[in-house]
């Protein structure tokens, strides 16, 4: 009897794990490695999260979207729940028998609709385990409480600080991108899941958390961080290069992003700058419609992207609205955190030749997801299409290579020096002098 219960329990867990892998498969594609950019954000508010910039489509929708970045508010971080399968009332518990019918229903949908190669046999289970970290990504909404950092699983255990928001608790406490958190308040996290680690690190405003940090070859040391409420603006602007260069940073592609960016762009161009920098580094994406509108500000003619379905059929997304850039030289800053909608815009600009990409290779996320309602009321999202640039360059799994590669080194981070931005300013200044 005990053996039978153990078997049922294992099968139940297997079902949950396999279904949990579905989002990973749909969001990242089978075979994509984990650990390159599978960042998750630290915060206090639980909620649903998808992979960076993943776009979702209902059968009646003409535009893709994701929860979080697409909300009417500005960007925030969230600790993810279990977004892959939305359980209905009476969902499986550890003691319930395996619902083989539901499992097969989900698996048949996946095999029928998924655009890509699926793992077979035991690979399904192993992929679910290997790619579990890919489920935990930020769900940005405008404000949150936390330490102001994004993390990913580190090789050998613990979590690596992938990105620190400027002037926020983690950065103020002296933490650096690349630091690995080994313990939280004295508790080892090198063998915990990413979600467990996040739940230990996050907490309410004004509370303290002690993090044990490994930095390069140094001996591990403790850092105490006072959590706070983090406000992240959608758009940030400033003037650089002795008043000759205008800089605009876009944090996400939410529903308010096109108008906010248009305002900032018009104000910047009204100063008649000699050059413009659009910073898409760390931008995880958002609404497809927002990416098309924003891309149109920088592309005077032609499409913004191509959507190609599993059956080979295509949909061309033409530009919308006014072209705002004019003849102003443009540099678009990108890195491994530039995903999905960011890649759509960056790819359209690169193909149109209205600007150059500078920085590091982008994330490589460009897919459409179709939500399916299962018989028990749960939901399965399947990747049904992929994005391509106007010149037919695939985004998903490949990313975009910058025209000028500039890496942000550990030395730069330690010195709080933005070598990529400095290089962009210098490039435009040199272009002016020619």
Using pLDDT thresholds of 50, 70 and 90, give the confidence band for residue 40: very low
Strands (E), 253-302: 275-279
Judge whether residue 4 has pLDDT over 50. no
**Class of CATH domain 235-368+384-433:** alpha beta
Using pLDDT thresholds of 50, 70 and 90, give the confidence band for residue 246: very high
Q: What topology is assigned to 144-231 in CATH?
A: Pdz3 Domain (2.30.42)
Q: Which residue has the higher pLDDT, 422 or 61?
A: 422
Spell out a b/e string for 103-119, using b for 16 or more CB atoms within 10 Å of the CB, else e: bebbbebbeebbbbeee
Tens digits of residue pLDDT in 111-126: 787 777 766 655 555 5
**Six token digits for residue 426:** 């210098």
What are the start and end residues of each CATH 3.90.226.10 domain in the chain?
235-368+384-433
Which bin fits 142, alpha (ψ -120 to 50), beta or left (φ > 0)? left
* Region of poorest pLDDT, from 88-92, 166-170, 262-266, 368-372: 88-92
Give pLDDT, residue 232: 65
Catalytic residues: 340, 351, 365
CA distance linking residue 111 with residue 320, whole number of Å: 35
Cβ contacts of residue 120 below 8 Å, gap of 6+?
none
Give pLDDT, residue 273: 96
Judge whether residue 280 has pLDDT over 90. yes
| Residue count (the chain) | 434
Judge whether residue 92 has pLDDT over 90. no
**Six token digits for residue 107:** 């698996």
What backbone phi and psi angles, to 5 degrees, belong to 80?
-75, 150
Using pLDDT thresholds of 50, 70 and 90, give the confidence band for residue 308: very high
**Which 8-state DSSP code applies to residue 59?**
T
Give pLDDT, residue 90: 41
Judge whether residue 407 has pLDDT over 70. yes
**Six token digits for residue 85:** 């399968």
The predicted model gives 344-349 an average pLDDT of 98
The predicted model gives 410-419 an average pLDDT of 86
For residues 211 and 201, the answer to whether their CB atoms sit within 8 Å is yes
């Amino acid at each position: 009897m005990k053996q039978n219960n153990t078997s049922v329990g294992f099968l139940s867990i297997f079902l949950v794990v396999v279904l949990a892998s579905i989002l990973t498969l749909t969001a990242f594609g089978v075979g994509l490695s984990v650990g390159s950019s599978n960042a998750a954000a630290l915060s206090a508010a639980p909620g649903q999260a998808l992979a960076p910039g993943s776009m979702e489509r209902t059968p009646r929708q003409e535009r893709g979207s994701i929860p979080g970045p697409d909300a009417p508010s500005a960007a925030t971080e969230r600790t993810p729940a279990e977004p892959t399968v939305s359980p209905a009332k009476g969902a499986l518990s550890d003691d319930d028998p395996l619902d083989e019918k539901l499992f097969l229903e989900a698996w048949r949908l996946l095999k029928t609709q998924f655009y890509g190669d699926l793992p077979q046999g035991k690979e399904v289970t192993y992929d679910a385990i290997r790619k579990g970290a890919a489920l935990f990504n930020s769900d940005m909404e405008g404000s949150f409480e936390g330490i102001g950092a994004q993390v990913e699983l580190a090789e050998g255990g613990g979590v690596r600080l992938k990105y620190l928001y400027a002037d926020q608790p983690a950065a103020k406490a002296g933490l650096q991108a690349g630091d690995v958190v080994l313990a939280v308040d004295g508790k080892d996290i090198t063998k915990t899941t990413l979600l467990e680690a996040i739940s230990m690190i996050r907490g309410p405003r004004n509370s303290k958390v002690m993090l044990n940090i490994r930095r390069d070859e140094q001996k591990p040391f403790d850092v105490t961080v006072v959590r706070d409420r983090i406000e992240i603006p959608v758009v940030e602007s400033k003037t650089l290069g002795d008043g000759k260069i205008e800089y605009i940073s876009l944090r996400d592609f939410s529903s308010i992003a096109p108008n906010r960016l248009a305002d900032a762009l018009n104000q910047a161009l009204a100063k008649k700058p000699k050059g413009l920098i659009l910073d898409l580094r760390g931008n995880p994406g958002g609404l497809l419609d927002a990416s098309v509108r924003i891309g149109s500000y920088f592309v005077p003619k032609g499409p913004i992207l191509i959507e190609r379905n599993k059956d080979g059929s295509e949909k061309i997304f033409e530009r919308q609205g006014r072209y705002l850039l004019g003849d102003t030289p443009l540099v678009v800053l990108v890195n491994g955190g530039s995903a999905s909608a960011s890649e759509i815009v960056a790819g359209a600009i690169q193909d149109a030749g209205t600007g150059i990409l500078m920085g590091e290779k982008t994330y490589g996320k460009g897919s459409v997801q179709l939500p399916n309602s299962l018989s028990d009321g749960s939901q399965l999202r399947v990747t049904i299409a992929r994005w391509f640039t106007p010149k037919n360059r695939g985004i998903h799994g490949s990313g975009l290579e910058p025209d000028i590669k500039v890496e942000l080194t550990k030395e730069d981070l330690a010195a709080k020096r933005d070598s990529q931005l400095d290089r962009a300013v210098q490039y435009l200044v040199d272009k002016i002098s020619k």
